[in-house]
Amino acid sequence: MDTTTIDTPQGQVRGRTENGVTAFLGVPYAAAPFGPNRFRAPTAPPSWDGVRDALDHGATVPKVGYRPPTSEILSEPVVEGDDCLNVAVYTPDVAGSAPVYVWIHGGAFVNGSNAVPAYDGSAFARDGVVAVVINYRLGVDGFARIEGAPANRGLLDQVAALEWVRDHIAAYGGDPAQVTVAGESAGAMSVATLLAMPRADGLFRRAILQSGGGHNVIAEETATRVAAALASSLSVDPTVDGFGSVPVDALLDAQRSLSDRVAAEAASGAWGELALKMMAFQPYVDGDVVPAEPYSRIADGAGADVEILIGTTSEEHAFFLVPAGIVPHITEDYLAAILAGYRLDPAALDVYRAQLPDASPGELMIAIMTDWFFRMPAVRIAEAHPAHVYEFTWRSPLFDGNLGACHALELPFVFDVLDKPETARITGPTPPQALADEMHRAWVDFVRTGNPGWGRYGAQRTVRMFPGTTVDDPRAATREVWDGVR
């Protein structure tokens, strides 16, 4: 292994160089969020004397981890240590001034890290882009409403990472004036929130949102109820001192148990908006860090100077339903209840049946839930803000082909990491490299120029299909059933 040492504002850093790409891993962008910093806003990054090795991934933040079957599909590395607010930097030339791609991982705001193999940024660096993959606090530490603590600490971490990029990335060969912030799932929801956050103004000029939009926040009242229930389960107060008195592992166990309880009780209405929004720990509207629902602010002009690339996979919700074996058990009555929960006219089901005439009730549910959670929030942002829109349509052969073009399937294509063995857990054994070449190139071109290779959504509602060509207003009929609803 060759190494490269550079001078940075924090001190000297040694990275590993291979095939023309230098990776600096585990570089802290803020102080460790423990001890006196627990549940506080991120503080200034540390500095050091001598040379700091950045040869291996840094610590990952506390997280609950995935359960089967999700754990059999997605990789979730754990790296012990306190300096978990760190970045992984992949650069083509430490003496250059390349555009920068900052990646915010997904994981439902409770899982994920920059150590996930699919987020290796080497292919971006190979193609002339500095890739920066960040960690941020998750679950209770990042998003619980805690008395005496700043709101939405996980989002404050993301802003701190972007400020680190602004102030430090030139030392790694990046241009701080050419930053694209990108993410998938909870990461894309974070990007939409950053677009609408005054604290993030000016920190990026382009944004990529993969399978996430601007509707995924909850009310402060809901966040307060969740925190109170968590505190009650632990017999502590919902305060910094109360939650801080609980060992990290015990807090994670309680977080998981409460999330299970919310999921079990949500349909009864016991948890209000979480019946639809599902995630007990996610950003909430606090009036300061998150002033209002991100989509509403974007529609009113927030982030108007930011160029946007946004899209979804065709069958997002198959990821959540097919591996768990739920699809064959969905009945017509359950499907009707789903429509009612979403406030859709019952006649909308006829529109979906016309679109998918051979679909079972479970397959129709995948389509409807995909549209509510992912497709329509993306459409609404594209309607409000000039954007390039894509749809990933390639279907995984796994689960007898029923996994389809599911949530997260596009990731190894975007990062061009189909050679990594972990990716076969979602793509199957022979994914098409030509599709990765095509999709990765579009992302690189957008980061470099703001043009991924096709026109903006606009009046024609142009969408780029991967694989395929551009299509105007795909599945217009099912899009229209959501007018005034989502």
Q: What is the DSSP letter of 290?
A: S
- Average pLDDT score over the chain: 97
**Tens of pLDDT, residues 351-382:** 999 999 999 999 999 999 999 999 999 999 99
Q: What is the mean pLDDT of residues 71-80?
A: 96
**pLDDT at residue 345 greater than cutoff 90:** yes
What is the DSSP annotation of 224-271? HHHHHHHHHHHTS-SBHHHHHTS-HHHHHHHHHHHHHHHHHHGGGTTT
Average pLDDT over residues 305-327: 97
Report residue 98: phi and psi, to 5°: -90, 155
What confidence score (pLDDT) does residue 208 get? 99
Mean pLDDT of 398-408: 98
Distances (CA, A) of 184 to 245, 428, 445: 33, 20, 18
The DSSP secondary-structure symbol of 310 reads: E
3-state secondary structure of 282: coil
Confidence of residue 179 (pLDDT cuts 50, 70, 90): very high
**CB 110 within 8 Å of CB 63:** yes
Average pLDDT over residues 29-58: 97
- pLDDT interval class at 233 (50, 70, 90): very high
Instruction: Please report which confidence band the pLDDT of residue 267 belongs to, taking 50, 70 and 90 as the band edges.
Output: confident
Measured between its terminal Cα atoms, the distance across the chain in Å is 52
CA–CA distance, 480 with 486 (Å, rounded to integer): 10
Determine the average pLDDT of the residues in 23-52.
97
* Residue that the structure tokens 């993301």 belong to: 158
Angle at alpha carbon of residue 114, lines to 80 and 13, rounded to 5°: 80
Q: Cα torsion at 451, 454, 456, 459 (round to 10°)?
A: 160
What gap in Å lies between CA 128 and CA 163, rounded to an integer?
A: 22
What are the pLDDT digits (tens) for 452-462?
999 999 999 99
Q: What is the average per-residue pLDDT within 250-260?
A: 97
| Rounded mean pLDDT, 203-207 | 98
pLDDT of residue 325: 96
Catalytic pick from 316, 363, 391, 410?
Answer: 316
**Is 168 tagged catalytic?**
no
What is this structure's pTM?
Answer: 0.98
* Beta carbons of 315 and 222 less than 8 angstroms apart: no
In the block, tokens 């894309």 appear at 188
Share of the chain above pLDDT 90, in %: 99
**407 has a pLDDT exceeding 90:** yes
Active-site pick, 185, 211, 314, 396? 185
pLDDT score, position 473: 98
Q: Is 296 an annotated catalytic residue? A: no
What are 464's strand-pairing partners? 390, 470
3-class SS of residue 335: helix
Alpha helix segments (H runs only) across 312-403:
318-321, 332-341, 348-355, 361-370, 376-384
User: What is the pLDDT averaged over residues 119-132?
Assistant: 98
Write the pLDDT tens digit of every residue in 80-120. Answer: 999 999 999 999 999 999 999 999 999 999 999 999 999 99
Res 1 pLDDT > 90:
no
Residue 393 gets which letter from DSSP?
Answer: -
Catalytic annotation present for 391: no
**pLDDT at residue 152 tops 90:** yes
Asked if pLDDT for residue 474 goes beyond 90, the answer is yes
Going 283 to 369 to 108 to 441, the CA torsion angle's sign is negative
Selecting among 168, 215, 388, 407, the annotated active-site residue is: 407
For every residue of 162-200, DSSP letters joined together read HHHHHHHGGGGTEEEEEEEEEEETHHHHHHHHHHT-GGG
Give the CA dihedral 281, 283, 287, 291, nearest 10 degrees: -160
